[in-house]
Structure 1
C-alpha cells in the first residue's frame, strides 16, 4: 500500500461488498472508527474461506493478527454498501500482509485504507507454521507485484 496519496479502486485485485449496519454509526452520524477493522476482518476472512479453503472452526492452521492499521480519508455512514478491495502486499513463509481499501459505490478513491498482518500458526501449539499450499495459491493470486 502506498504510504502517500489516496488508494484507487484499480489497485485492488479482489472486491467484496460489505453493507453497513445501523449499529455501525456512532453519535456523530458516521461509521465508528473501530468498525472499519471489522470490515477489514470480514473481507479478508471471507476470501480465505472461499478462495483459500480456510477451516477456521477445525483446520490445523489458523491466522493470528499481529499488526493492524487504518487511515481514514472520508466518512462512511449507514445505510451504505461498501466495496471492500483486497490485495496482498507481502507474502512470506508463515505470514501475509493484507491491504484493504474501503470504497463508496462509484468512488474510485478509497474512503479508508489499511492493512493487517496474519501470522499463520499451528492451532494446537500456536507456533508459526508455513501457509498451506491452497491458501498460499489464493493469496498469491491477489498479490501486488514487488516494486
Structure 2
C-alpha cells in the first residue's frame, strides 16, 4: 500500500488536522489516524443518505482495524483521506484507507477497518441494506 496514489481510492475526504491532534513528539498521534478513517467513511455514508447515526435501525460497528505509518503529519496539515472497499460481504465490509497531505502525492499512512452491520436494538449481525450496499459497491476497487 505504500505505493498507493490518490487515484487508487474511489472517494477522497478532506480533513483538517487540529492542534490537539499533535502529541509531545510534534506530530499527529497514531490513534488519531483511526478517527480520520472513521470520519471519512461515515461522512461518505451520511452524504449518500445511507447512514442515520441517530435513528437508523442498522448500524456498522468497527470490529477490526490496522494502520501502517510512512510519513509524519502535523497540525496545521490539511489532509485527504482516500477510501475504497476491498471486500463487500453479506453483513460486513472491509475498507482500505489512506492519508495524504493535501499538497503532497506521497502517502503518509495506509490502513483498513471492517464494519459489521448490526441491528441497533439487538446488536446481532444483519445483511447490509440494499441502499448501503449500492453506496459501498461504488467504492470497490
Q: Shared topology, TM-score over 0.5?
A: yes
Tell me the residue number matched to 2:56: 59
Question: Scaled by the length of structure 1, what TM-score is found?
Answer: 0.92
Which residue of structure 2 lines up, in the alignment, with residue 103 of structure 1? Answer: 100
Q: Residue 126 of structure 2 aligns with which residue?
A: 129
Shift of 1:85: 0.6
The answer to whether the Cα contact below 8 Å between 1:9 and 1:109 also exists between their aligned partners in 2 is no
State the partner residue of 1:140.
137
Consecutive unaligned residues of structure 1, counting only runs of 5 or more, are none
Displacement of 1:6: 2.7
Q: Which moved more, 1:43-52 or 1:129-138?
A: 43-52
In structure 2, list runs of 5 or more residues that go unmatched.
none
After superposition, what is the alpha-carbon deviation per residue over 1:7-28, rounded to whole angstroms, capped at 9, x for unaligned? Answer: 2211001101000000000111
Q: Counterpart in 2 of 1:86?
A: 83
Runs of 4+ residues deviating >3 angstroms: none
CA distance in 2 between counterparts of 1:98 and 1:112 reads 14
Give SS of 2:48's match.
helix
1:25 maps to which residue? 22
Residue 108 of structure 1 deviates from its aligned partner by 2.2
> In angstroms, what is the RMSD of aligned CA positions?
1.0
Kindly tell me the number of residue pairs found equivalent between the two proteins: 141
Shift of 1:52: 4.6
Structure 2 CA distance for aligned equivalents of residues 114 and 40 of structure 1:
8
Question: 2 CA distance for matches of 1:90 and 1:9?
Answer: 19
TM-score of the superposed pair, with normalisation by structure 2: 0.96
2:5 equivalent to 1:8: yes
